[in-house]
Homo-oligomer: A and B are copies of this chain.
């Protein structure tokens, strides 16, 4: 039905009406006093969202751009780095490291299986010469719906003492409790079309003092992505280059909404939606790609050979967009996004339509089991 589209994918995520209206406001000059005030408010609220006293820098790039900036500003050609790879995004960060001539070691698990924290420990403990300069971790691996055990890997990095921990928090920031300062995370990157509840176009990078110290000796050439320029401008409530003004109007509004909901409530809501998705899938006889104890709170990946038929019916009959599998999982899984501005009602709606779709496609399970299980989990 025209304009009845409902996004249940892990990005872009649903955008609240208040934010859409802010996006459609007429731009103002980005060097004006009025815009400086907006930047100041945004920067303050980004620190709140990141649970940090450190700088959070906003770049006019996608999440991939933010991760690239988060690596090339703090490392130098030939540096040894460990990259956790258990999905499409971990693989992408390893590719970037390779393209930039880093000595890249992939610590791999199957898609759907969390990274083995012991592998990191062993390599870090064995590195008595302190050659490892960074450990790159995808916290929530969107392609497989897995939440990697960042806390434990971070402990091993801290025990090493030298290496930076560089975190892809693209689908965990704003969806899972990530106390950046308490954990001492050095570099944390994220993107606007995820937990932030605004459309794509902004990347964020949170940088601590240890990373800034590494910045001083980092040798990659960069200009547009030179985070030192963003830090300097941030101190004056400004940006080094023209920012995406309208997206920042939307961000200002979205951060205000997030503050009204409160961090604890936001995290609890994501945990609840995740649990409801998982019990409902199981109740409908489907199996999950990721184990319960490593479930992403942003997206639930569900295994079934008729994944594409399910997505097609959900889209055509109910105007609900679900994500498919990527690369070798194409056609083998579908993914329910429950990230950002997603409510209990949205989740129940999705499960009830999914139940009808599975029935139509001939799946054999107890009628209404999915909605019943999801409703119980949400209660």
Contact = CB atoms under 8 A, between A and B. Distances in A.
Interface of A: 5, 7, 9, 11-12, 14-15, 20-21, 23-30, 32, 60-65, 68, 95-96, 99-101, 191, 193, 199-201, 220-226, 241-247, 321, 323
Contact of A60 (B11, B25, B65, B223): B65
14 contacts: A7-B28, A14-B26, A27-B199, A27-B200, A32-B321, A60-B201, A61-B61, A61-B65, A62-B241, A193-B245, A200-B243, A200-B245, A201-B245, A244-B244
Given A95-B223, A199-B246, A200-B60, A241 B28 contact: no
A246 B29 contact: no
A61 B60 contact: yes
Given A61-B224, A62-B241, 8 more contacts: A14-B26, A27-B200, A29-B321, A30-B200, A61-B61, A65-B224, A244-B244, A246-B247
Nearest to A12: B27
Contact of A247 (B7, B193, B244): B244
Kindly report how many copies of this chain are found in the complex they form together: 2
A199 B96 contact: no
A302 to B, nearest CB: 18
A68 B191 CA distance: 22
A12 B27 CA distance: 7
Contact of A224 (B7, B32, B68, B244): B68
Contacts of A101: 221
A85 to B, nearest CB: 16
B201 A247 contact: yes
Contacts of A11: 242
Contacts of A5: 26, 28
Contacts of A226: 99
Given A68-B223, A247-B244, A15 B26 contact: yes
A115 to B, nearest CB: 22
B23 A9 contact: no
Contact of A15 (B27, B95, B99, B242): B27
Given A27-B15, A28-B5, A99 B223 contact: yes
Contacts of A223: 64, 68, 95-96, 99-100
Contacts of A95: 223
A242 B321 contact: no
Contacts of A220: 221
Q: Which of A11, A12, A21, A191 has the most CB of B within 10 A?
A: A12
Given A11-B242, A244-B200, A224 B62 contact: yes
Nearest to A72: B221
A222 B65 CA distance: 11
